[in-house]
Structure 1
Amino acid sequence: MFDIGWPEMMILVVAALVVLGPERLPGAIRWTAQSLRQVRDYASGATNQLRSELGPEFDELRKPLDEFNELRKPLDELRGMTPRSMVTKHLLNGDDSIFTGNFDKPGGTSPESAGPYTPPQTPAPKPLGHNEKPPIDFDAT
């Protein structure tokens, strides 16, 4: 829920120690823990009450939420990416040599990024003959 690790927790404890002082800090921690436990109990009690009252319809109500969470997964994958890493991943196939300057060893994992880019060859259009009308493209007009 709150993505708090041990370093952040220690910073919060030190800040609380400075703000509250050593005599009021244990009481504040106890009050915070009790409040969080009570909120969690209320939430689980409300969920259990809904589940018991609605029965199997509760699972049908959760279906759209599950589908929404499935749609959010690609967005979570993009979160935390910098523009540089997006360009490297999606446009350069993971080859970051343009940014690092190390052109001897391409960093890409795909075989397409190993060599230089060569555009596909298209045949040249044949020139029109004398008094020949150009073809008409009805979709373009």
Structure 2
Amino acid sequence: MIGINGYELLVLAILAVAVLGPERLPEYASQLARLVREVRRMASGAKEQLREEVGPEIDEVDWRKLDPRQYDPRRIIKEALIDDFEDAVKPVSARPAPAAPRGGTSAPGAERAAAPTGPPAVKPLMRLQNGERAPFDIEAT
């Protein structure tokens, strides 16, 4: 939990005996024990208060999913890009059909004319002539 192994704990205990001395060490050890008990009591009280306020839904929460160590930005970006790619390459038959016009019957050729025939037209690229200045928008700068 704290990340201290046995050797480090032994070094800290020897250091505490040397700094505090054998006379005051039991007093400080009992104060430390009281502090640990008080912190545990406060933590359990906070858990109970949270459980009372939130209700039984708190038991259904998957806390491992909310662990910040599970956050991997590369994985999240990769999944998002793959999802977008799969949406982009869906066949046309899988996409929803355009809505039929309201108002009853229509002419036989009207359905064909209303259906999209392909991607929208793209404007041609306008090139500047030699010596022509590029348009300048004073509000954009």
TM-score by length of 1: 0.44
Higher RCO, 1 vs 2 (CA within 8 Å, ≥6 residues apart): 1
The structure with the largest alpha-carbon Rg is: 2
Question: Which TM-score applies when normalising by structure 2?
Answer: 0.44
